[in-house]
Amino acid sequence: MTVLFLFFSLAIGWTAWNLYHPVYRYPLVATASFLTGWLVGELALHHIAWQLAVTALFAWGGAIHGFAGAIGLVTCVVSWLAMGYFYLTGERAAGTVQRALTEGLGEDYQDTIQDTFRAAFPSAIDRRHLQHPFKPVAPGVEVIKDVPFGHHDQRLDIYRPRRPLTSAPVLLQIHGGAWTEKMGDKNHQALPLMSHMAERGWVAVSIDYRLCPGATFPDHIIDCKEGLRWIKQHIASWGGDPDFVVVTGGSAGGHLCALLALSANDPEFQPGFEDLDTSVQGAVPFYGVYDLLDTHGHQHHGAQQELFERSLMKLPRSTNKEAYERASPLHRNLATAPPFFVIHGDKDTLVPVEEAREFVAALRAASQSPVSYAEIEGGQHAFDMFASLRSEHTKHGVERFLTWLYSGYLARRG
């Protein structure tokens, strides 16, 4: 039993070490590092609680004795302290997102937000969300599931407040999951953000789209445009304003979110509805893939290129540069981009943070619209999927960005 406890403590020690020193270089190890860092980093207090309970059982069974037991116990205590400290550093996200917004929108950006909206901004994190991270949808939010759209049996979900709505702003959510079946769907991603914005009087629409290996690009973005088409034509019946839509998404959804925002009215991506205006009023991509060509070699290994060539594009990258450029937000026409708020964690093991930095630099150099960028300290890939200090502060920053956009829209409309 003592040896078993020692191995248990060493496993805990590795998970704590991995929070600060994730593995980037080797695909399988990097994936394990991501999963562990994501779940432990954003749910550290929950992990400490169950690990304390297991340690107490070991102690009750007499397993913690002698030199090995002492080493194991010290390892556990040091690891818990490291996990707790890492979790608490999530508070720094509040300052990070605020600096990102003032840098991108101006020091006085909140002064241009309508008073009624600004008064509703939360003054602090709701600790109940931290206690129940797996209950992201608020009771006051109605969810309408699996509304059909498009021509390929696509489905979308609608999140809206349980009160009458008229011409409410719309948030279009595109899920991630490596563009691949069984790795992501519309039912589990961005729920805290969609629920929060629905409580604020928005209508959020989470769409699905055809996935690899059955789908091949540009099927994915065509389906996303089909979702936007449905919103433009039908969202008024659900209380939304078809003329004000902001798009968001994470990972593969971040790629599609940015690509949708940068390909307004591109006939290649909207066959059969080429004349529809597919512009959006803003974009908030989370930890997205912006350069499928990996022009500057930011990828840590070849797994992503293999995914592109085998599944997403089904074309060798070396001889199909133009096709990869058309699929890459970084290589689109950035001069006509709508306002962007790009968000990425600095501990992301799946999509290098350098790719986000490069995309933001290119946007700022070319775009005539505001560009904000928040690099979240300690943020792993998918860090926003459930409530933590880090994700809650980021969510509140996104709310301020979205509300700033909407206030400007209302002011222009008169």
The tens digit of pLDDT for each residue in 331-386 reads: 999 999 999 999 999 999 999 999 999 999 999 999 999 999 999 999 999 999 99
The answer to whether residue 348 is catalytic is yes
Mean per-residue pLDDT, 263-290: 96
The tens digit of pLDDT for each residue in 244-256 reads: 999 999 999 999 9
SS3 state of residue 387: coil
Categorize the per-residue pLDDT at 26 as very low, low, confident or very high, splitting at 50, 70 and 90. confident
The catalytically annotated residue of 220, 255, 381, 393 is 381
The catalytically annotated residue of 157, 208, 266, 348 is 348
pLDDT at 298 over 90: yes
Number of DSSP helices (H) and strands (E) in the chain, helices first: 14, 8
pLDDT at 72 over 80: yes
At 235, list the tokens. Answer: 């969202």
Cα–Cα distance measured from residue 331 to residue 338, given in angstroms and rounded to the nearest whole number = 15
Cα–Cα distance measured from residue 70 to residue 51, given in angstroms and rounded to the nearest whole number = 16
Residue 369 near residue 334, CB atoms below 8 Å: no
For residue 283, list its beta bridge partners.
Answer: 247, 340
The answer to whether residue 196 is catalytic is no
User: Which residue from 394, 387, 392 is spatially nearest to 372, judged by alpha carbons?
Assistant: 394
Place of tokens 């006509």: 336
Alpha-carbon torsion (200, 167, 207, 324), positive or negative? negative
Reported as type and span, the H/E element at residue 206 is strand 203-207
Average pLDDT, the chain: 95
Count of residues in the chain: 414
Query: Whole-structure pTM over 0.75, yes or no?
Result: yes
Per-position b or e across 152-176, b if 16+ CB within 10 A of its CB: eebbbbbbbbeeebeebbbbbbbbb
At 177, list the tokens. Answer: 């999951």
Confidence (pLDDT) at 21: 96
The tens digit of pLDDT for each residue in 52-64 reads: 999 999 998 888 8
At 412, list the tokens. Answer: 């222009």
The tens digit of pLDDT for each residue in 2-20 reads: 889 899 999 999 999 999 9
Quote the longest CA-to-CA distance of the chain.
Answer: 76
